[in-house]
Amino acid sequence: MADNDPVNDLAPLLTPEGRALLDEVRDTDPAQELAVATRLRREHPAELVSAALGQARLRQRAVAKFGVEDAGRMFFTPNGVEQSTRASVAAYRARRMAEAGITSVADLCCGIGGDAIALARAGIRVLAVDRDPQTAAAARANADALGLSGLVEVREADVTDVDTAGFDAVFVDPARRGGRGRIFDPEAYSPPLSWAISAARRAPRGAALKVAPGIPHEAVPEDAEAEWISDGGDVKEAVLWFGTEPGAVRATLLPGPRTLLSRGLPDPQVRPPGRYLYEPDGAVIRAHLVAEVADQVGGGLLDATIAYVTADALHPTPYATAYEITDHLPFNVKKLKALLRERGVGILTVKKRGSAVEPEELRKKVKPQGPHAATVFLTRVAGAPAMLIGHPA
Ligand SMILES: C[S@@+](CC[C@H](N)C(=O)[O-])C[C@H]1O[C@@H](n2cnc3c(N)ncnc32)[C@H](O)[C@@H]1O
């Protein structure tokens, strides 16, 4: 469903009849949708009923990002839900800006307003710009629905035509999805990253540009700080900050936040498997801070090219999950099957780095049975395919 589909026209949903209908269909079970639609069409225009049911579905999808309460009051477009920043990440970034003394932000590419809402909630005045009419309408409705319209002005415009003079900072979250899926080349973003960087450099008190976590480190400008952010262990985004600490690299883990800063350490030494294996958080790996974690836990790498850290001692760290390793052996399915049988392992978690083995295929082959749980790491130890078996420490 495209955002310009008539069913996405928000205007009818913002009328008293539309709002009442939205309340009515709020908790509609998808299995009951047809029956509910048939009943409601007797009293309301068919298009309004479809729009209300479509919006209810989008709100349900948005709960994971915005929570039940906000998602239940907000307005979405299909792309808008997909592309919006989750509230936890937006709130973290907004807090960083507020703590830096920034009081006004031009949010260039505001989408349905995920970031604009967080900025306003941090007490920042926002000019929120999006060129898509339905999306801008949703951002406006959201600022209103959440009682933030006093702080958020929404403008339907192309960001390249907007004068941001008079704002302390800019925030740019370019569109990274084209007609054929995700875009990896930062110059193919809309607007291109180079445009966003120029806008960032013009802002008097700094800027934040949201980019894909896979952005190559070479694409980070020298005058920017790069921050990779994960939430609940999943990497969500990278941010290029201007006006903070040029050249700084950090990994931030939410909730928390916990931030690990680069100390520019050399790659860790490769060493034989110790009693513990540490699996660094994805943000740490993307930020190339595995050496900092290895240093914290007094460990080294199992293989020069793989982000598993091994150490003899347990040093709890928020930046990696520690496992106690009971066995390590060359990769061999029959041996794994025998070992799991001997230990009565019926609940097997398969993790892998640097192995082409499909976890599901392996599980089918070893047929785990028994009351105990274990984790098997499929990886390489000094270049050779290996398996390490253990459990969370
Ligand atoms: C990734 S989304 C923004 C999501 C937003 N930060 C949020 O949390 O809801 C990118 C948005 O950029 C808008 N966009 C892309 N190019 C634009 C341009 N040149 N001018 C204005 N808006 C643009 C798209 O319409 C889309 O809504």
Ligand 1 center from residue 241 Cα (angstroms): 19
Give the confidence band of 65 by pLDDT, cuts at 50, 70, 90: very high
pLDDT of 354 above 70: yes
For the chain, give the mean pLDDT: 95
Task: Determine phi and psi for 204, rounding to 5 degrees.
Answer: -65, -35
3-class DSSP state for residue 47?
Answer: helix
Q: Which of 137, 128, 136 is nearest to 172 (CA)?
A: 128
**What's the Rg (C-alpha) of the chain?**
25
Top mutation candidate among 130, 152, 193, 231 for ligand 1, by most atoms within 8 Å of CB? 130
Predicted pLDDT at 336: 97
Mean pLDDT for the stretch of residues 47-61: 95
Give the confidence band of 268 by pLDDT, cuts at 50, 70, 90: very high
pLDDT tens per residue across span 205-217: 999 999 999 999 9
User: What element of type H or E holds 136?
Assistant: helix 133-145
The number of beta carbons lying within 10 Å of the beta carbon of residue 215 is 19
CATH number of 84-259: 3.40.50.150
Q: Which of 301, 274, 294 is nearest to 388 (CA)?
A: 274
Ligand 1 center from residue 261 Cα (angstroms): 30
Give the confidence band of 185 by pLDDT, cuts at 50, 70, 90: confident
Q: How many CA atoms lie within 13 Å of 111's alpha carbon, on the beta-carbon side?
A: 27
Give the confidence band of 346 by pLDDT, cuts at 50, 70, 90: very high
pLDDT of 314 above 70: yes
pLDDT of 3 above 60: no
Domain positions in the chain: 6-65, 84-259, 276-392
* CA dist list (Å): 104 to 128, 143, 207, 208: 11, 16, 11, 13
Q: Which atom of ligand 1 is nearest to the CA of 177?
A: 1
DSSP state of 175: B
Pocket flag, ligand 1, residue 81 (CB < 6 Å): no
Q: Which atom of ligand 1 is nearest to the CA of 85?
A: 8
Give percent of the chain with pLDDT exceeding 70. Answer: 97
Q: Which of 392, 391, 350, 357 is nearest to 374 (CA)?
A: 391
Hey, which residues does 153 pair with through a beta bridge?
127
pLDDT of 7 above 90: no
pTM here? 0.94
- H helices of 179-231, where? 193-202
Q: How many CA atoms lie within 13 Å of 12's alpha carbon, on the beta-carbon side?
A: 17
Q: Which atom of ligand 1 is nearest to the CA of 171?
A: 6
Least confident span in 83-97, 98-112, 180-194: 180-194
Q: Work out the angle at residue 91's Cα, subtended by the Cα atoms of residues 228 and 51, and round it to the nearest 5 degrees.
A: 105
pLDDT tens per residue across span 128-171: 999 999 999 999 999 999 999 999 999 999 999 999 999 999 99
Pocket flag, ligand 1, residue 84 (CB < 6 Å): yes
DSSP E strand stretches across the chain: 104-108, 125-130, 152-156, 169-172, 177-178, 181-182, 207-211, 225-231, 234-242, 249-254, 258-261, 276-280, 300-301, 309-311, 320-330, 345-352, 372-381, 384-392
Q: Give residue for tokens 């930020």.
A: 287
